[in-house]
Amino acid sequence: MASVLLLDAMLEKVGLPAATYSAFPTEGTRLEVTITFYPIKSKLGRSPVKVSMSTSQHQDLAEAQDYVAAAAIKYMDAYEGAVPKDYHYDQLRTVEKANILLGQQLKAMKRDNASLKQKLKESLGINKLLSKGWDGSLSTEQTIINNLNHLVNSRLSPGSTPDDLELNNVLLNV
């Protein structure tokens, strides 16, 4: 349902005059649209004070009017405590609450992820210590890797071509 129609129905239901819209062109093809309305609580004993809101973000008049009407409804929700009770509004509230809950769950998952990364790092350190043989020497595979690294480090000089650099990088990361 368009916000313009929803706002008009809200105001009509409590006996207030319909909102008025004014529009004039601004910078290029954009329109400045202003809505003026009486808030719902002004009907409840306070002297009526009109509220105005504007936008200049739109090029289409109907789109701009719908935008300021939605802003008026949000204003009445935030400052007046009066909101339309239709399917879409209730659904919006449900989705907003679910979004907040999902944001909290995401933060918790990020904390858990950081904790798991730390545990993995500690586990890798323990595995490295456990890979040593019973006599404190490194296992056969680790000894071969260390000997290969030593051979690469001591006998290969870095080449200047991209192929040499790539080969040296591969050998250093064995």
Residue-level pLDDT at 57: 83
Amino acid at 87: Y
Distance CA(174)–CA(171), nearest Å, equals: 5
Position 126 scores a pLDDT of 73
- pLDDT score of 67: 92
In the chain, where the domains are located: 3-85, 132-174
Q: Residue 163: its pLDDT value, please?
A: 63
Question: Given this model, what pLDDT does residue 21 score?
Answer: 94
Digits of tens for pLDDT over the chain (174 positions)? 488 888 888 888 888 889 999 998 988 888 899 999 988 765 556 667 888 999 888 888 999 999 999 999 888 888 766 665 555 666 777 788 888 999 999 998 988 888 888 888 888 877 776 666 555 555 566 666 776 676 666 655 555 566 666 666 666 666
